[in-house]
Amino acid sequence: MTEYNDPAVRYYQEVFDQCIHYLSIDGVIFGFHQNQLKVLLLRWKGTDAWSLPGGFIRKAESVDVAAQRIMQERTGLDALYLQQFHVFGEAVRYDQEATWRKINLPVDGAKWSERTISLGYYALVEHSKVIPTPDFLTEVCAWWSLDDVPALLFDHNHIIAVALLSLRKDFNDQPLNHLLPDTFTIPELQRLHETILGLSLDGRNFYKKVMASGQLERLSERRAGTPHKAPFLYRFKPSEPTNRLPTLEAKTA
């Protein structure tokens, strides 16, 4: 266990110099595929240990910009829909020594053994557009179905759980356009809602509700290549206000 990963040590040295100490960002990137809610995870080099994507904030960088940067690098996507959802600030969040061992870092290194406060962000992305890209310390970046997520490094299982609760709390009854492709069918939208809420909905009532919201428009085409009746395609009306929460506007008096 004393075979230190030298490039990793150098990487941390760089982070130590350029970024804010004691502070990190962890990202829960949600995608929806095959009727399942998925998250993007990273496998660390030379290990079978997985974690959430994350990173650090540069000294003169906005926190939101840092989050965008970090998530962009893992997904290849611009202008992600990001939501800050919780600060994980306990003095002891996980067993640091055991964790450094799992990812082959020197246990006694002072640099990375600082306690970190993590700012939790979740992203809603269109699954098919993502190009999963590992970072410097990892060798695999892949989607995991929420139900199958293994035991992760750090307190990342906890972070995912909190992210999911926040997502449920936030989205209420608004359609989740960021998780879907431009066009989709009503049953697909219903599966998405069911998956996030963790319950099953009545298709008739669901249809009425989303139609009543006035945010969808039906296209003339139908989904081709499915068995059974071909469902209509819909899309979110472009002119409508997005379902992003209203921006908190309040300026100094």
Which residue, 12 or 207, has its beta carbon nearer to DNA?
207
Which residue, 74 or 93, has its beta carbon nearer to a copy of itself?
93
Distance CA 201, CA 70 (A): 35
Burial zone of 158 (CB within 10 Å; 0-12 exposed, 13-18 middle, 19+ buried):
middle
Task: Find the binding residues for DNA in span 133-192 (CB under 7 A).
Answer: 173, 185-187
**Stretch in the footprint of a copy of itself (CB under 8 A) among 44-52, 71-79, 150-158, 184-192:** 150-158
Q: Left (φ > 0), alpha (ψ -120 to 50) or beta: where does 23 sit?
A: beta
Distance CA 27, CA 183 (A): 27
Start-to-end C-alpha separation, the chain: 58
Distance CA 53, CA 25 (A): 9
Q: Among residues 7, 13, 18, 59, which is the contact residue for a copy of itself, using CB under 8 A?
A: 59
Q: Among residues 110, 214, 227, 238, which is the contact residue for DNA, using CB under 7 A?
A: 227
Residue that is written with structure tokens 């080099």 in the block: 45
Q: Left (φ > 0), alpha (ψ -120 to 50) or beta: where does 70 sit?
A: alpha
Q: Among residues 86, 209, 223, 235, which is the contact residue for a copy of itself, using CB under 8 A?
A: 86
Burial zone of 66 (CB within 10 Å; 0-12 exposed, 13-18 middle, 19+ buried):
buried
Q: Is 198 in the site for DNA (CB under 7 A)?
A: no
Q: Is 217 in the site for DNA (CB under 7 A)?
A: no
**Stretch in the footprint of a copy of itself (CB under 8 A) among 46-54, 155-163, 175-183, 187-195:** 155-163
Q: Is 131 in the site for a copy of itself (CB under 8 A)?
A: no
- Contact footprint for a copy of itself (CB under 8 A): 20-23, 57, 59-65, 84, 86-87, 89-91, 94, 115, 117, 119, 149-152, 155, 157-158, 161-162, 165, 248, 250-253
Chain positions contacting DNA, by CB under 7 A:
173, 185-187, 202-205, 207-209, 212, 222, 227-232
